Chain A
Amino acid sequence: MGKGIFTVKNLIKLAAVIAVYLIIMTVMEGNFATRHFKSLLVPIGINIILAVSLNITTGFLGELSLGHAGFMAIGAYSGALFTIFAENHTGIPNSLAFLIGIIIGGIVAALFGVVIGIPVLRLKGDYLAIVTLAFGEIVRSIVNFLSVTGGARGLSGIPRYTNYKWTYAFVIITIVLLANFVKSRYGRVISSIRDNSIAAESIGIKVSNYKIMAFVIAAFFAGVAGVLFGHNLSILKPGNFDYNKSIEILVIVVLGGMGSIPGSVISAIILTLLPEFLRGASNYRMLLYSLALILIMLFNSSEIRQRLEDSGKFPKLPKLPKLKARAR
């Protein structure tokens, strides 16, 4: 038997989770924050889930995936279709329907993760990246033509169930599950494939099985984030899930540091808040935002950061081999 899960360390973490929740609740329920700020909490949470889950494929498995928005779309639409159905045709209480909707969204996205994963994960590097990009676009185009999804006009009338409580709960669940996953036996196998897939194969690891596992897990949480997203906006349009969305998530992951879950969380918070806090700059807003991105990226790979890390003034990122084309 191990130490069990009730170690002092874990209890402290639990206390921290509850404390943060209490702070958020006070801010949300009380009159301490502007409406503008309050409305940003849910998008922040959704971006955290998306970034942390993409980090599994991009950071830990080391494969560039440009189709994350596709999984998100699948989850969003399937979850929303279920809750719309549940609201109109069944007597399931709203919160239960939403919970089931979230799980359905995750599972359907995960199923597509398997379907796309089996043929695709024989590829590596830039080949894989392009196939995932194509996958995302295929999802978007299909959603565009199906009548059940409302086509180009979008799926409207989705009940607005998402609030900060749901989002917070799922952010915590995602982080806890995925942080434990990467530390588990499977997680280490996945990291070993990233570091050297030939060596991993030589010691008997079935590389494609583990790749699919990473892909499916990432897809599941992308689907969950999609359901939360859809029930926050109350309308879903195929245009929400184009490749720009995938790139946006990838930017969060890269900026936070590939293979770093806390990095993804912090970076998701910063990158969601940044364009909103720049509203004061009106016309220059998106320009400043892009500039900030460039500066942060430059800083991240600069010597200054290296020195800060060495002197211990800055949290170290796990040292990773850079994403590169390893397909040859």
Chain B
Amino acid sequence: MKKVFKKVVSLGLLGTLTVASLAGCGTKNTGSTGSDGSDASGTGDGTFLIGGLGPLTGQAASYGISVKQGAEVAIQEINDAGGVKVGDQTLKLKLEFEDDEADADTVTAAYNTLMDKGIQALLGTVTSGAGLALADQTYADGILQITPSGSAKELTKNPNAFRLCFTDPLQGETMADYVINTLGLKKVAIVYNNADDYSTGVADAFESKIKELGGEVVAKEAFVTDAVDFNTQLTTIKGTDAQIIFAPVYYQDAAYITTQASELGMTLPFVGSDGWDGVLDKVVDKKVLEGAVFLSPFFAADPDTAVQAFVTKYKEKYNTSPDQFAADGYDTVYVIKAALEKAGKTDSADLIEAMTHIEVKGLTGTVTFDTNGEPNKGAKFIEIKNGEYTAKTVQ
């Protein structure tokens, strides 16, 4: 008896699989035509479908949600204004966003779901780890891919991939340049998370640029994710003749580091990376952050009218202030729009060709793209003054 039922179960399972694949078949026929890019995609109903990939669940969920919401604000804005004029037709934009859990394993399935839906350009991935697993697949499909916030260098190695944000190394180099040339300091200490690719990437580039510019790294102290006690690292730094501390870390770590440094009686100034955005809400005493300078692509208190319009719309819609990821998502949609207008067509090959010829004035600065897929745009320095973020003009 037992064996018979085993067979019944396995047959049933086989049946389910077959049904599942056939059920998929129905949706595929409508969806895949666009994804092949071989025909006049998206002309039927006058929409251009953008696929989004980012974490909506899990530890990195806040990044993915911000990008998605920022992109939605941009799409609503564009559609309300009539859509995008592509050649002799006007298209509405539509966003399909799938959860990749910031996981290299899940992202393939999520991406293929989007391809089944027939996306014509990919806004993603939000995180580097997931994106690296996907790079060769999007290249094989020849689809235009723009990552709003993935900063790993290899993400744009293929000609179909572009990036809106700074790379990790570029941030490190910019900050090194600021420390040596603008502040005129020579001896620096670094605190970084060596279990995190973002932190290590920025720290390494910073260190080599400092050396190149004639400075000296007197201490390079590491910690690992979820550390809460930085006294060992800070005491070591206190024993050196460092003039400034560079901490390329996320805001929670930055809050601990600055607070504990102040408790140790250290008065050295801090410089940070864009992970510092949001640090003011994490410290008990805002004085510990006084004078700290960090890079950020976006600054919500920027008096610029475009930024303020975005902040207002975003707050209306989601009841919270936008962060840099939301701005990245917003700008990426406008980059896709500009590429569509420039190309006058919706084929991925034409869009990729158009990418290097566009200039977009976005919330994160005016940006152009080079043939390597990297953005050219200015950095925004932010200084914490009197417990507030203020824009800092450098040079």
Contacts and interface: CB of A to CB of B under 8 A. Distances in A.
A38 interface: yes
A153 B201 contact: yes
B197 A152 contact: yes
Nearest to A42: B108
Contacts of B104: 233, 235, 237, 240
B109 A233 contact: no
Interface in A213-256: 229, 232-235, 237-240
A234 B133 contact: yes
Contacts, number: 118
| Most chain B beta-carbon neighbours within 10 Å: one of A34, A234, A279 | A34
Given A153-B197, A314-B5, A315-B5, A34 B105 contact: no
Contact of B14 (A23, A31, A36): A23
B136 A36 contact: no
Contacts of A144: 194-195, 224
B132 A154 contact: yes
A33 interface: yes
B1 interface: yes
Nearest to A239: B129
B24 A37 contact: yes
Interface residues of B, number: 46
A126 interface: no
A39 interface: yes
A297 to B, nearest CB: 19
The majority secondary structure among interface residues of chain A is helix
A266 B22 CA distance: 20
B133 A235 contact: yes
Interface in A118-171: 141, 144-145, 151-154, 156-157, 160
Nearest to B9: A315
B154 interface: yes
B40 interface: no
A31 B21 CA distance: 10
Contacts of A35: 28, 32, 112, 115-116
Contacts of A234: 132-133, 136
A34 B14 contact: no
A80 B158 CA distance: 22
Interface string A267-291: 0010001001101001101100000
B2 A33 contact: no
A174 B373 CA distance: 43
B13 interface: yes
Interface string B144-168: 0000000010100000000000000
Interface string B22-59: 10110110011000000000000000000000001100
A185 interface: no
B109 A276 contact: yes
Contacts of B136: 160, 234
Interface of A: 20, 23, 27, 31-40, 43, 141, 144-145, 151-154, 156-157, 160, 229, 232-235, 237-240, 262, 266, 269, 273, 276-277, 279, 282-283, 285-286, 312-316
Given A36-B24, A238-B195, 14 more contacts: A32-B21, A32-B25, A35-B28, A35-B116, A37-B20, A37-B24, A39-B109, A39-B112, A152-B195, A233-B104, A266-B9, A273-B20, A279-B110, A313-B5
Shortest 3 CB-CB contacts between residues of A and residues of B: A34-B24, A35-B112, A33-B21
Interface of B: 1-2, 5-6, 9-10, 13-14, 18, 20-22, 24-25, 27-28, 31-32, 56-57, 98-99, 103-105, 108-113, 115-116, 129, 132-133, 136, 152, 154, 194-197, 200-201, 224
